[in-house]
Structure 1
Amino acid sequence: MIRVMVVDDDALVRLGLSDLLDGDEGIELAAQAADGLQAVELASAHHIDVVLMDVRMPRMDGIAATARLRALPHRPKVIALTTFDLDEYVYNVLAAGADGFLLKDTDPAEILRAVHLVAAGSAMLHPAAARRLIDRYHRNAHPQAVAARARVERLTPREKDVLALLAEGTTNAEIAVRLSMRESTVKAHVSRILTALEVGNRVQAALTARDAGMTG
């Protein structure tokens, strides 16, 4: 069972997401929080696998909460939920360590799919919005680009192939098919890539790839 916490200051949104999660036999709704501070408190007291995190909230927003969750001994995965696809807050929550983001009007089946994918170690980004968002905030980021290219150069050619596909939001299984590799080999490559790039998850690796100019 995937233990999920819903974090949103809107009670109706929490109710809707809770009802959606309850309909999936592989998911257990473990907790609900009305803001980031309560989310950190609950995650510290309970075993949480995945957090559906609103970005804009009172007391503590989703950005600060995500950073705090990363410091916990058992760090839950975080999927940021936002109303707007071009939003500085979304970029910041990804940079803080979120494992993906979705728009709140995403199809319910895709939200459930995202929970399963992220729990299994993949990333989940709203594809078109992710490209626009990252391009917007990285187009002129020259210092970051130089540093990113230096880190990418630590990778082997095969690892760069894996990183390029990872940056497109593909799963390990999809990368394995496209590169004619075993999925276990892809997982090993991803682990080495995260270490070489000095990042904590696939989303941050994707940001580094885009900074380095590996994707359009």
Structure 2
Amino acid sequence: MVDSLFADVSYFQARVDDSYPYGIFSFRSNDGTFRDDNFAANYEWACRAADSGRLGCFIAYFYWRPNWSDCVNVHRDMVTALGGPHPRMISMIDVESGGNPRGDQSDGINRAYWNLADWLGHPRRVIGYANRSDFFELWPDRPDGLRVIGAGYGADPGLPGQIAHQYTDGQGYGGGLPEGCSPFGNCDMNSADGLSPLDFAAACGIRTAQEAK
């Protein structure tokens, strides 16, 4: 069985380069209206790597805030400024309680989801990220078929629709799996269990070159 590992990074880490070893790559565009300084370099590298076949797909994500429309517009503007969404790009909504109101935020999160789904042309090209408690508290009413990356350091959260597990923040929770990778050093790491990079891409609505013809 194939498991695909991949890093999740932001401006807290180095910018990606050709030493990156995996076939999926996840990186932040914005936190609310704050724009990540490393996004342009990471996005341009990811596009080249996807074009060459080095990456099966890549994830550009933003940290959701209650001003969801501003969050989405910044994310879209940052991608559009670099040529628009790459055919192998997935948008991810990072849903966390840190700095956000508690309780049901489904309306604003779902509005962000459907805005991105319309933009990308397929709802599966929009996925979520959350730990178990935030997932059920902040996003109890979710779109059908939603795919998610579940965060659980030291334990798999097993969320509905989960297609990958963020198993460590680089601080020793990997249980023998890598705590990071080049060029970043220790960082958030994910495992898409049982999925190759192309399988992961297909689960997120991204077609192969042959299917796209």
TM-score scaled to structure 1, two decimals?
Answer: 0.37
Q: Which has the larger radius of gyration?
A: 1
More helix, by proportion: 1
Q: Tell me which of the two structures has the higher relative contact order, counting C-alpha pairs closer than 8 angstroms and 6 or more residues apart.
A: 2
TM-score scaled to structure 2, two decimals?
Answer: 0.37
More strand, by proportion: 2
